[in-house]
Amino acid sequence: MSDFAELSVEGKKYQLPIVVGTEAEKALDINKLRDESGYITIDSGYKNTGATKSAITFLDGEKGILNYRGYSIEDLAAKATFLEVAYLLIYGELPTTEQYAEFEGAIRRHTIVNEGVRTIFEGFPVNSHPMATLSSLVSSLSAFYPDSYEGKDNSDRHIIRLLAKLPTIASWSYKRAMGHPMNYPKNDLDYCSNFLHMMFSLPVEKYEVDPVVASALNTLLILHADHEQNCSTSTVRLVGSSQANLYSSISAGISALWGPLHGGANQEVIEMLEAIKADGGDVSKYIDMAKNAKTTGFRLFGFGHRVYKNFDPRAKIIKKAADEVLAKLGVNDPVLEIAKGLEEAALNDEYFVARKLYPNVDFYSGIIYRALGIPTNMFTVMFAIGRLPGWIAQWKEMRAAKEPIGRPRQIYTGATLREFVPIENR
Ligand code: SDX
């Protein structure tokens, strides 16, 4: 295959270098296109546009493949701990025993959050959405750690702080909404057990972490850990490309994730399934509403994906885990059966088949979160805790590559030059 593609426009020919990745993905490099031809490209939603080269995560949307640094999501979800996967994403290799002990140990020692951050948190309305408080408080960390923007590149310390403190901050929302005293982390617990302790233990009785729940949480966090250049990760990279500090960049990613078309979908899915259940459980009615979205405005949350035009491999793992976890916990959630019925109906409907719409990571995750006792409005917070190492890894890669500030072009379609008209003459 030639190393160049040829573009012919207005009688001139331009050579566009061809870039081929390690998984045989191909791209046309248009870095010089405007300088040479005066043309830019335009691609609403970046459906055909690569923002960068990355060695972190590989997706094959047609085959339903997801690999982190070359390891399959199936392998990692079955065999690794979340912090092993976090280390892998951020530093490129699975940690040795010593590396893991140092990494995990450092995280354990940074789980306490400055009491000043808690004071800020207590200024929020009691029933604030946890994503509103999470994005705000993560951004506030840059005020508590000014060396994060004073040009001292000690991002590893900030990486540890973020991984360590996000679960602590997340648990505050639940405890405050419940009117319960907030818990401090316990350094003798592993990452997932510590989060469950902070969420659910009460000073009035001994709290034992259920290993089934901790294991399910570990799997869910791994499945959410990275997903190449999705909306929130692209946001983190773009904000970081201006040399903004890590806390500000991650806070921007949390805000992008909150959108119902992105990470906010996991909350929307459960609310949608609850609405179907309350409406008698007739999934065909909702399939029809989704097919007539232009008039009904209804969308089947948890379905469809920009990249996956086959099953989202994470959805397959979560669906299997949902059956196992609910059975082990003795939870009978009718919403699970409605979800399966909806999936079955959609996968046999021409509208969805023609558009290659399959269940995505958000379709079943909320059913497990609910069985673990996580409230619905914290589902996207759980997504953020899982995605944090991916955001950090991508931010670190962008900085290490010294990528230029992200600044897309546009095609102007507004009014051409015109004279100012004084207000008395308008
Ligand atoms: C995540 O990018 C990532 O990797 C994201 C993520 C990650 O890990 O970071 O995987 C996490 O965000 C998963 C997606 C969660 N969102 C949802 O479940 C919301 C519902 N899904 C859709 O809104 C939609 O599928 C998107 C946003 C996920 C993808 O949108 P696209 O790629 O822009 O596709 P589109 O909106 O152009 O849809 C193509 C067609 C349209 O029909 P036509 O106009 O061609 O007739 O499919 C239809 C859409 O109307 N369609 C749906 C649908 N999703 C797309 N119809 C009904 N229900 C849906 N869910």
What positions carry a catalytic annotation?
Answer: 305, 362
Do residues 237 and 355 share a domain?
Answer: yes
Q: What is the pLDDT of residue 138?
A: 98
Q: What pLDDT is attached to residue 313?
A: 96
With a cut of 90, say whether residue 154 has pLDDT above it: no
Residues 62, 86: one domain?
A: no
Residues 141 and 182 placed together within one structural domain of the fold: yes
Same domain, 15 and 107: no
Question: Can you give the pLDDT at residue 1?
Answer: 65
Tens-digit pLDDT profile for residues 262-284 = 999 999 999 999 999 999 999 99
- Asked if residue 423 is part of any domain, the answer here is no
pLDDT tens profile 52-109: 999 999 999 999 999 999 999 999 999 999 999 999 999 999 999 999 999 999 999 9
Share of the chain above pLDDT 90, in %: 96
- Asked whether residue 301 falls in the same domain as residue 397, the answer is yes
Take residue 220 and report the two structure tokens written for it. Answer: 């869910």
The mean pLDDT value of the chain amounts to 96
Please name the residue that has the structure tokens 């207005």. 10
Residue nearest to atom 32 of ligand 1 (CA): 306
Mutate to test the pocket of ligand 1, among 357, 365, 387 (most ligand atoms within 8 A of CB): 357
What is the value of pTM for the model shown? 0.96
Round to whole Å and give the CA distance between 57 and 390: 9
Clarify whether residues 47 and 161 are in a common domain.
no
Same domain, 47 and 113: no
The range of the structural domain enclosing residue 258 comes to 68-401
Same domain, 10 and 139: no
Digit-coded pLDDT (tens) for 7-24: 999 999 999 999 999 999
Domain of 207, CATH number, reads 1.10.580.10
Total number of domains constituting the chain = 2
Distance 306 CA to ligand 1 centre (A): 6
Does residue 335 sit within a domain? yes
Q: Is 253 in the pocket of ligand 1 (CB under 6 A)?
A: no
pLDDT at 153 over 70: no
Q: Compute the distance between CA of residue 213 and CA of residue 219 in angstroms, rounded to an integer.
A: 10
Per-residue pLDDT tens digits for 158-185: 999 999 999 999 999 999 999 999 999 9
Residue in 231, 261, 317 to alter for ligand 1 test, most ligand atoms within 8 A of Cβ: 261
User: How close is the Cα of 135 to the center of ligand 1, in Å?
Assistant: 24
Q: How close is the Cα of 262 to the center of ligand 1, in Å?
A: 9
Q: What is the 3-state secondary structure (H, E, C) of 304-326?
A: CCCCCCCCCHHHHHHHHHHHHHH
What distance in Å separates the CA atoms of residue 290 and residue 58, rounded to the nearest whole number? 31
Residues 135 and 249 in one domain: yes
Q: Tell me, in angstroms, the distance from the centre of ligand 1 to residue 8's CA.
A: 34
Is residue 23 domain-shared with residue 92, that is, in the same domain?
Answer: no
Residues 143, 208 within the same domain? yes
Residue 82's pLDDT is 98
Atom of ligand 1 nearest to the CA of 312: 10
Percent of the chain with pLDDT over 70: 99
Greatest CA separation for the chain: 80
